[in-house]
Amino acid sequence: MDGAAIEVSVLGGMADIPAAEWDACACPEAADGGRPADPFTTHRFLAALEASGSVGPGTGWQPRHLVARAGGEAVAAMPLYVKAHSQGEYIFDHGWAEAWERAGGRYYPKLQCAVPFTPATGRRLLTRPGFAGPGRAALIAAAVQMAGRAGLSSFHITFCTAEEAEAGAAAGLLHRVTQQFHWLNRGYASYDDFLGDLASRKRKALRRERQAARSFGGTIRALTGAAIRPEHWDAFWAFYQDTGSRKWGRPYLTRDFFDRVHRDLRDDVLLVIAERAGRPVAGALNFLGRDCIYGRYWGCIEQHPFLHFELCYHQAIDWAIAHGLARVEAGAQGEHKLARGYLPVATHSLHWIADPGFRAAVARFLEAERRAADEEIEVLTAWGPFRRGGPQDEERA
């Protein structure tokens, strides 16, 4: 295929492409039988969102995925959606929309390269080995052309990798830097080993917190694969609805999505369940990557002190240490994660704005925001729980 022209086509959904063809671009590392780097751009995850009605007609997420082919073979792909709003993205552009519409423009619909409802860094410009350069260039050019021809206000790539952000900026897209909190495994043999890196006062506080959480009168189990049963999803659906109704007004995901996760993605899931008197009362849903745990959802039907922190953060650290995983990404926002050993890290997105004047204004905003994000990461890292001379200071060096 050397020198073969690359042609880009638009898919109406994941049903329009065989799983093997998509995954050859999305997760070529899984060809050895191991896990993908993350499961979120795999065919099975994106297809579950679509087939369950979590995205698609009536949701404001209309699939328009791109596939680039050379010599008839798929060499690159992009999960892409026409968006009617900015919900479920976690890289917030509501202020941009309001400013543009106050000026008489129409911000929505827009074009969004993302994994719906998933603020986890990962590859967005999906390429087969050996096609990173031409594949990325073809995908970006096709998406910009698609947005321009449709008269859309903008095109966005959210939670991309730092390498993709660099490539996108070189291609003329605006680079945005935000931050999240991630826990990093520095070869810890146990949770107590991790605590040894913390300042004495913080170490004692976390031990007290975990002890208090575990005194809720029940048991905590971490489940994955075949250990997850249908009744666990019945329980988690109740938890998810409670959290969703309080945070978003209505849950983003449908009940059928969790049934499809049980059928097709159980091996990609770590479900932490708290039970009392034989009844699930709280749970945390995580997804598993090759070297990372991705915290996604939490919910409960009973309130118990510190149980949220135990299920979402401490149990994930326990699992990462026990299974030799490099990090835990605990989702969007939440400075309370800092006290529990999760340090701030930069996250990246890319943006194309059609109107030159609006683009210039956004560029100025992003430059100032990037400086503020860098400063915030430095300050928050210094405030972290680690003892002097520990990992926190290594991050600042």
**Segment 130-146 mean pLDDT:** 97
- Would you say the CATH fold of 186-325 matches that of 6-180+345-382? yes
Cα separation, 291 vs 288, in Å, equals: 8
pLDDT in tens, 2-18: 556 999 999 999 999 99
Mean per-residue pLDDT over the chain, rounded: 94
Maximum C-alpha span of the chain: 65
* 66-75, 103-112, 189-198, 332-341: range with lowest mean pLDDT: 332-341
**Segment 219-248 mean pLDDT:** 88
Q: Residue 393 pLDDT > 50, yes or no?
A: yes
CATH topology (fold) of 186-325: Aminopeptidase (3.40.630)
Give the chain's count of helices (H) and strands (E): 13, 15
pTM, two decimals, is 0.95
Domain over 6-180+345-382 is classified CATH 3.40.630.30: yes
CB atoms within 10 A of CB 325: 19
Consecutive H or E run containing 382: helix 356-382
Return the percentage of the chain with pLDDT > 70, whole number: 95
Give backbone dihedrals phi and psi of 199, rounded to 5 degrees, phi first: -60, 150
Q: How confident is the model at residue 396 (pLDDT cuts 50, 70, 90)?
A: very low
pLDDT in tens, 9-66: 999 999 999 999 999 999 999 999 999 999 999 999 999 999 999 999 999 999 999 9
Query: Which pLDDT does position 397 carry in this prediction?
Result: 45
pLDDT in tens, 93-133: 999 999 999 999 999 999 999 999 999 999 999 999 999 99
- 369-to-174, 212, 221, 366, 373 alpha-carbon distances in Å: 12, 39, 41, 5, 6
**Segment 227-232 mean pLDDT:** 97
Q: Residue 251 pLDDT > 90, yes or no?
A: no
Query: Which pLDDT does position 333 carry in this prediction?
Result: 77
Q: How confident is the model at residue 242 (pLDDT cuts 50, 70, 90)?
A: confident
Annotated domain spans of the chain: 6-180+345-382, 186-325
Q: Residue 265 pLDDT > 70, yes or no?
A: yes
Q: Residue 326 pLDDT > 70, yes or no?
A: yes
351, 356, 393: which is closest to 177 by C-alpha? Answer: 351
Higher pLDDT pick, 263 / 397:
263
Cα separation, 313 vs 183, in Å, equals: 9
